Amino acid sequence: MKRLSIVMIALFSVFAMNAQQSTKAKKLLSEVSSKVKGYDNMVIDFKYSLENTAESVSQETRGDVSIHGDKYLLNLMGTTQLFDGKKIYTIIPEDQEINISNYVEEDDNNITPSKMFSFYEEGYTYKWDISQDIKGRQIQYIKLTPIDSNADVKNILLGIDSQTKHIYNLIQTQDNGTKITITVKSFKTNQPLAKSLFSFNEGRYKDFYINRLD
């Protein structure tokens, strides 16, 4: 009986600690989300890397994205993706091709640029993880685990600058062993963006094949 009591006390201590860590993690994520929602727009330069040791796959590149509300303009791996709030335009200059599709939120399980600072608000459990000093910046990691056991994503580590409350990096580990890391290199807010930046001008792509998917 005494041994059982000790075990029960230990279990309750673990549960209490986990609950406390979850609360701390959720509070920090709320602070990040609240701060980002206060900006009119964001212009971000980032490093993108993908690794799968088992498949001997390793690639690294740079990209940039401009975000205003739900709208975004993303440049990555020689491809431009534009979301005007209703449709997604994927422009591939190398193939002189443009794919146009309607955006359906219910069918979107990916972390889109406009969702990068809010995707964690639903569908994940939170855990307070390690803290690292990176070039004089204190980066606190929050571990996110999908509630859906059938999700392709195993977990996500979200690195947050403890002082600025900005996201420093995102490390996504998938069930197949693939690890995708996005590291913010430059983060600018409230920039003088052109009104036409998030509008698709079909006239600029007269020589492109336009594939309307919807």
Sheet holding 153-161, edge to edge: 124-134, 137-146, 153-161, 167-174, 179-189, 42-52, 57-68, 71-76, 79-83, 87-92, 97-102, 209-212
pLDDT digits (tens, 9 = 90+) for 161-200: 999 999 999 999 998 889 999 999 999 999 999 989 999 9
Domain count, the chain: 1
pLDDT digits (tens, 9 = 90+) for 32-64: 988 888 999 999 999 999 998 887 889 999 999
* CA–CA distance, 56 with 177 (Å, rounded to integer): 11
Q: Which CATH number do you get for residue 99?
A: 2.50.20.10
Give Cβ neighbours of residue 48 (< 8 Å, ≥ 6 apart).
60, 61, 62, 63, 76, 77, 180, 181, 182
User: Residue 84 corresponds to which tokens in the numbers above?
Assistant: 């005007």
* CA–CA distance, 98 with 176 (Å, rounded to integer): 30
pLDDT digits (tens, 9 = 90+) for 121-150: 888 888 999 999 999 999 999 999 998 888
- Considering the entire predicted model, what is its pTM? 0.83
Quote the domain boundaries for residue 30.
1-200+208-212
User: Residue 65 corresponds to which tokens in the numbers above?
Assistant: 């994205």
Q: How many CA atoms lie within 13 A of 96 on its CB side?
A: 6
pLDDT digits (tens, 9 = 90+) for 65-101: 999 988 999 999 999 999 998 999 999 999 999 999 9
Instruction: Quote the DSSP letter at residue 199.
Output: S
